[in-house]
Amino acid sequence: MPIPLNVLDTRREAREERGPAVPPTEDVREKVFELEAKGEWLVQRVPDPWIGVTTKYGRIKKIPIARTWHHKSCGQCGHIPGYSTAIFWLIRKLGLDYNDPKDQTSCTAWNYYASATSNQGAQAAVAMRNFGAAYESGYFPMIHCGTSYGHYKEVREELVHSAPLRDEVRRICDKLGKPFVMPEEIVHYSEWIYAMRDEFAKRRVLDLSSIDVTVHPACHYHKLVVEDAIYDPDVYGGQRTAVVSSVVTALGANVKDYSTWFDCCGFGFRHILVQRDFTRSFATLRKIDVMREEANPDVVLTHDTGCVTTLDQSQFAARAHKPNVGIPVMSEAQFAALAMGAHPYRVCQLHWHSTEYRPLLEKMGIDWRERWREFEDDLERLKKDDKAYLTWEDADA
């Protein structure tokens, strides 16, 4: 059964009566600036203009609008390329400046959480190398992957509280010739999407009022360094992160509740690669089945690499014994792009997804047959070497 919202209303009333509370956690960003004042590192400022959003305990977080350095996700770029492409497309659609770097490695945290074949120093050095590269470019880091975002926030906490770790990593950055820089904020792309949702809504070209959505909040977004995630009292009474859900509402679609929203997707880091019986079982039994039973959505939207992969890919094998599966899965970036008229194949690259998505496109008013024919024509031109690559101009042709 869905969580009764009157409970949340009661909590909200109690909170309003009580007045603003002192956040139970320190504001690590203050420590970041203190360390800068002591000459320990540089702090890369969020570039103007930025938008202030509210985090879990009422603090304001700055989200840069433009001049962003895109810390890409290996899982998104590798296996769900329409995810990354849709993020870039949204930025371009708003005419904003960005940097898609080659001087970037993965955060390597997927491997760390899966195999532990790394350590605190190495993980912090990888983070600071990437932050140094962003600083050198003059653009501000925006993290595409939920795990990279959560892990980098852990790394920030560890560096702030450990002088020996700072010394170790500073020495490494010196050897690499990279500046030792901590960004003023650690920003996930879904926070930018949240901050810009009204801009997307203005540019929406599809009527989504008949589209029901269930949202899976990504664990490493809201369970690691929890105080830094975005919350809004108007979204589930401030009891769940507001990213994704607010975007769905702004775009005119319907957020549907389900009881296992807090559960992880079943990704497991190690499990998704070498022990997928667990991943499949959890994804279908605790997430997809429950969503179908309680909300019967047209689509599942989430905001992280592993969640899209797990929830989407796990449904195929489950079809053998579970007729209840079959809900398409994508990121809110892809969904927002579709709503704004992005091509489902040239931009959102839905042919890389597993679970049947075409009925959803039809319900959204997208002629997927015609769009696929266009994409097949693109592929023919590429095959004939008429052109080397599909370009951004082709994507919007």
Partner 1 sequence: MVLQARYADVPIEEKQRLFDQVKADERFESYLYGCYECGICVAACPSARFYDFSPRKIAQAASREDLPMFYEQLNDDIWNCSQCFSCTRCPRGNNPGGLITIMREVSINNGLTSAKNALEGYGRVVYKIMSTGTQVSPDMLQPNAFPDWGPHVQEISDNLALWRRALPPDTMHTTSTAWEVDDKTLTELYLIWHMTGVLDMIKQVDTGLHMILNDVMEELLEEAGFTPE
Residues between 5 and 64 with contacts to partner 1, criterion CB under 8 A: none
137 Cβ contact partners less than 8 Å away, ≥ 6 residues apart? 69, 99, 101, 103
Interface with partner 1 by CB under 8 A: which range of 70-78, 189-197, 233-241, 322-330? Answer: 70-78
DSSP for 358-383, please give it: HHHHHHHT--HHHHHHHHHHHHHHHH
Report the nearest approach of partner 1 to the CB of residue 347 (Å): 7
Among 14, 22, 37, 116, binds partner 1 (CB under 8 A): 116
Which residues on neighbouring strands pair with residue 329, listed in sequence order?
Answer: 300
Q: Name which of 50 and 180 has its Cβ closer to partner 1.
A: 180
In the bound complex, what is the minimum distance in angstroms from residue 212's beta carbon to partner 1? 25
According to CB under 8 A, which one of 41, 50, 69, 89 is a site residue for partner 1? 89
Residues in the chain: 397
Sign of CA dihedral 77, 80, 81, 84: negative
96: DSSP letter: -
Binding mask 313-332 for partner 1 (x = CB under 8 A): x--xx---------------
Closer CB to partner 1, residue 54 or residue 118?
A: 118
Closer by beta carbon to partner 1, 88 or else 335 = 88
CB 300 within 8 Å of CB 360 = no
Element of type H or E holding 68: strand 68-71
| DSSP 3-state percent helix, strand, coil across the chain (nearest 5) | 50, 10, 40
Q: Containing H/E element for 278?
A: helix 276-282
Q: Which of 35, 74, 230, 333 forms a contact with partner 1 (CB under 8 A)?
A: 74
Q: Is the CB of residue 272 less than 8 Å from the CB of residue 310? A: yes
> What is the pattern of x (binds partner 1, CB under 8 A) and - over residues 154-173?
----x--xx-xx--x--xx-
- How far apart CA 242 and CA 53 sit, in angstroms, is 10
CB 249 to partner 1: min, Å: 26
Q: Is 227 in the site for partner 1 (CB under 8 A)?
A: no
Given the rule CB under 8 A, which of 28-36, 175-183, 200-208, 292-300 is the region that contacts partner 1?
175-183
Number of neighbours of residue 3 by Cβ within 10 angstroms: 16
Note whether 74 and 110 are within 8 A (CB): yes
Please report how close the Cβ of residue 163 comes to partner 1 at its closest, in angstroms.
10
**By the rule CB under 8 A, 382 interacts with partner 1:** yes
Q: Looking at beta carbons only, is 50 or 69 nearer to partner 1?
A: 69
Query: Which residues, 232 to 291, sit near partner 1 by CB under 8 A?
Result: 262-264, 266-271, 273-274, 276, 278, 280-282, 286
**Interface region with partner 1, contact rule CB under 8 A, candidates 198-206, 222-230, 244-252, 364-372:** 222-230
Separation CA 350–CA 38 (nearest Å): 49
Of 395, 266, 358, 332, which is closest to residue 80 (Cα–Cα)?
A: 332
- The only residue of 3, 47, 118, 170 in contact with partner 1, by rule CB under 8 A: 118
Closest approach of partner 1 to the CB of residue 241, in Å? 14
- Considering only 44, 55, 68, 108, the residue that binds partner 1 (CB under 8 A) is 108
Q: Phi and psi for 148 in degrees, rounded to 5? A: -60, -45
